[in-house]
Amino acid sequence: MSTKGEAFAGLSVALVTPFADGQVDEQRLAEQVEFQVEAGTTCVCPVGTTGESPTLSHEEHERVISVVVEAAAGRIKVMAGTGSNSTDEALRLTRWAASAGADAALVVAPYYNKPNQEGMFAHFKALAEAVEIPICVYNIPGRTAKNIEPETIVRLAELPNITMVKEATGSMDQASHILAETNLTVLSGDDSMTLPLMAVGGRGVISVVGNIVPRDMIALTRAVDDGDLPTAIARHQKLFPLCRDLLSLDTNPIPIKAAMKLLGRDSGELRMPMTPLTAAAEAALRDTLVGYGLL
């Protein structure tokens, strides 16, 4: 299957941003990239929701992208988060990511101000015309308060460097509409929806759980590509409790940072207003990690 952003098919990982005493821990961030390179991950996505981009300063945001691009050193693709509810700000961030060497930009729908569909189209069109790197439209109405309707995405697909959609609406009908009418590369924005989305033509996932079990997510996507449905189902069922907990015990990225702390791969430090898991939720997460075989 050939799609517009096929080079990004498979597993992309939404990286956490490690902190130490309130500052970005650049060494640990580089280690996270190395972990993904060794696993064979297709792409890493810094400064998205999982990377706590809302609480990073613009200088930190740019520095995180630079550290990840430098650590990747061309061995793994980098899709940098550059979205904003201000088109001018998104333009600046996207241009900066392109100049820093990012391979693509992950651009969330404008949030809070809730533009109409023509506003959505104009926003992404302005970005697409300003840069040459591929753009992934990130549609997550649960966070942005407004859906990018499939008809709008079909229009956006006509722009040469709008090549991907991170689909986090939870609607298989919406995904199917996009897949039927465009050649965009549709990537799941929810780990637990990876198998069903790929079953209707999606090409992979931008994953949170991939921070800790990238090889297992890669095995799932490859099983689907190979047409091995029994293996894909078995992988999905094993991964499901972990995927569920990382998005249901608390708001992302609180659970994934707690999991990485338990596994010795992150300090677990968050930025306010994000606060740590409760003791009960952490105990439940630990039980899931033990059940999975990670602890």
Q: Which burial class, exposed, middle or buried, applies to 255 when counting CB atoms under 10 A from its CB (0-12, 13-18, 19+)?
A: buried
State pLDDT tens for residues 156-169.
999 999 999 999 99
Which one is catalytic: 4, 77, 146, 166? Answer: 166
State pLDDT tens for residues 87-116.
999 999 999 999 999 999 999 999 999 999
Catalytic residue flag (residue 166): yes
Which one is catalytic: 4, 138, 146, 292? Answer: 138
pTM above 0.75?
yes
What is the rounded CA–CA span in Å between residue 139 and residue 286? 31
- Domain 6-226 CATH class label: alpha beta
- Measuring CA to CA, how many Å separate 230 from each of 39, 80, 140, 180? 23, 34, 30, 25
State pLDDT tens for residues 176-232.
999 999 999 999 999 999 999 999 999 999 999 999 999 999 999 999 999 999 999
Taking the domains of the chain in order of start, what are their residue ranges? Answer: 6-226
Catalytic residue flag (residue 292): no
